[in-house]
Each structure stands twice: as structure tokens, then as C-alpha cells.
Amino acid sequence: MKSVANTKRQLTDLIQLGSHHSAIIDSSADAIISKNAEGIILSWNRGAERLYGYTAKEAIGQPITLLIPSEYGNDFPRIMDRLLKGKKVQNYETKRRTKDGRILDVSLTISPLKDASGKIVGASKIARDITKQKKLEQQRDDFISIATHELKTPVTSIKAYTQVLKSVFAKQADKRAVEYLDKMDAQLNKLTSLISDLLDVNKIQNDHLFFEKEPFNLNGLIVEIVEELQRTTDRHNLVMELARSIEIVGDRDRLGQVLTNLISNAIKYSPHGGEIIVKTQVKPDQAVVSVQDFGVGIPEDKLASVFEKFFRVSGPKQDTFPGMGLGLYISAEIVKRQGGQIWVESQEGKGSTFYFSLPIVAN
């Protein structure tokens, strides 16, 4: 008697659970669709009706290609292939077509559906409409391109005139004029890097900073940058203490940017000149690069904030240091994206050492 009552209760619980789950799926704002291994639509929630315009009756039994705009290529076989390998598809951005022919940008998260034996018999998909978001991103990208162009345009022509004038005066052996024009050129380079920094920060915020992934020689990069920056100062002595040469896989230009930033800062914050030591350490799974200066150092209460956006060294003794406070923020982002870490040790009045680590990919 008890077992019949138990079974009845279990069945009721199951049915309730089933209805509960159906209610959850149905009330979701996102489109939730399931299909079998051949791509035939098995279920279609109200979110799917709203997103794509087809009613459940119209959609169920149809192939999923109903939604895929042919001009963008059919990505369903690739998705299925990934699922059959047991991999989930998460936040995959693609295009789909609605019943009335509109093309939508959607973000898909797809999980495999398995039967009792664990065999994959279909897929369950959650689709979110990201068309508006994509449009905003496109507007932002366009703005960044236009802003770069507009800001760099007058700088380009001024720099060109400056350099031509310099060669004209050099031919006339006018040393003073050449010196002034050199200083103008240096300022223009500063302006250019400020503009680039501003735009980099914008890209970082919009997650549009692209990174190359190519192998390069770390020591080679360091030597190149140190030699270039040594030429910008005759009061500082840039010294290299490099460990054995290793290969790093990453973005050579961007990491060069980090080094340039750290060494330029070392120069900037050692106003009385002095040594700047660039060192590398090779550990089994990472390389650590450090830039040490013997300049003004950073007060202890500011150490935690140096890598924040807009952080600038300030104070009665130090408000002659120019800069927007973006360099270290950008460097930190770059190092982070390369899978490394960045940190600093410093003593006010004695100097600072900035470190960053880069993972070494075992061959």
C-alpha cells in the first residue's frame, strides 16, 4: 500500500518538477530552442517566438537552417561538430534571420543534449539578441578610427614641416635653428604618443585591443628598445643585465610598448640622471623583466594605485612631471592580456623597480 502511495507521490513530484521547468523555460526572456542531431527543431519557447517571429507550431519540426541567413554561411555543421566532441558553445556571436526577413546579431550558448546512455542526441540553445549592442560597438569603432585620423592629421603635417626645415637649416649649418627644431620634433612625438595612449585606453575599455600571437626573441626586443631610449637622454645610463635568450609567444609591438613605458617613466622620474637597470630572470614557466631606477621613488600610500587609470604622481615636490596617468594602466592591461603580472617595489627618495612577468609556453 505504501509503495503505491509513494510511487503516486513521486510521479506527482516529477510532473510538478516538469511543469516547473517548463514554466522557467517559457518565462525566460531569451530564446530557448532545442533540436535533434539532424538539426530539426524539437522545442521552441515564447522567447524564441518573440525573437524570431515564428510560433512554436510553425517552428517545431522545421530544420534549424530556417533561421540561418544563407549569405553568411551555414555555421550549424561546425556548431554540431563542436558539440559532438563534447564541447560547449558559449557566447558565440553570429547572425540569424527572423520570419519577416530581418537579420539579427545574436549571441548563442549551446549545450549538448544526451540520452540515458550519454550519447549526444541533440542540442539545447539559448539565443540573445545583441543587435543594439553591436550597433553601439560599431559606432564606437568608427569614432575611434575618425578620432585617430583627425588628431594625427595636423600633427603629421607639422612634423613634416619641422623635419624639412631642420634639413634646410642643417644644410645652412644653422645649429641653433636645428636645435630648436629637434626640440619641436620631440614634443610632437610626445603628443603623438599621448594621442595613441588615449585611443588605446578607449580600445581597452571597449575590449577592442587586438593582440598578435607570434613567437619573438625577448632579449632582442629589450636591446632594441633600450638602444632607442638611450638616444633620448644623455644624463641617464641605461644598463642591461639579461639572462639567457628565450622565445616568448605574444604581441611584440605591445610588449615593446610596455618596456618603453617603464623605461620612459624611469627616465622621467630620475630628474637628476643616473643609472637605469633593465634585467631579465628566466624561471621554468615564466620570464620576469624588471626596470630599476634610482630616482624619486613612490610614496608608500600611493604604491597600490600606480597602475590605476589616471593615476599621476603629484605633490608639491613633483607636480612638474607631465603625463596623463595612462601609461602604467595601459601597460598593466597589456601584461594581463599576455597572461602575465605586473608589480612594483619602491622607496620614496631612493627609486623604484617595476617588474612584469610573461608566461613561457613549453614547447
| Contacts to another protein by CB under 8 A | 145, 148-149, 151-161, 163-164, 167-168, 188, 192, 210
State in angstroms the smallest separation of the CB of 165 from another protein: 9
State in angstroms the smallest separation of the CB of 155 from another protein: 5
State in angstroms the smallest separation of the CB of 137 from another protein: 16
Q: Which is nearer to another protein, 20 or 149 (CB)?
A: 149
Q: Quick check: 266 and 228 in contact, CB under 8 A?
A: no
Q: Which is nearer to another protein, 81 or 150 (CB)?
A: 150
State in angstroms the smallest separation of the CB of 256 from another protein: 12
State in angstroms the smallest separation of the CB of 307 from another protein: 24
CA distance 257 to 101: 46
Q: Which is nearer to another protein, 11 or 164 (CB)?
A: 164
Q: Quick check: 201 and 326 in contact, CB under 8 A?
A: yes
Query: Which DSSP symbol is given to 216?
Result: E
Going from the C-alpha of 105 to that of each of 62, 68, 127, the distances in angstroms are 21, 11, 10
Query: Which DSSP symbol is given to 118?
Result: S
CA distance 229 to 191: 17
Q: Quick check: 162 and 188 in contact, CB under 8 A?
A: yes
Q: Quick check: 347 and 292 in contact, CB under 8 A?
A: no
Q: Which is nearer to another protein, 19 or 156 (CB)?
A: 156
CA distance 90 to 196: 33
Long-range pairs, 24-28, Cβ under 8 A, ≥24: 28/126
Q: Quick check: 195 and 152 in contact, CB under 8 A?
A: yes
Q: Which is nearer to another protein, 153 or 314 (CB)?
A: 153
Q: Quick check: 258 and 331 in contact, CB under 8 A?
A: yes
State in angstroms the smallest separation of the CB of 152 from another protein: 4
Q: Which is nearer to another protein, 38 or 210 (CB)?
A: 210
State in angstroms the smallest separation of the CB of 247 from another protein: 22
Q: Which is nearer to another protein, 156 or 245 (CB)?
A: 156
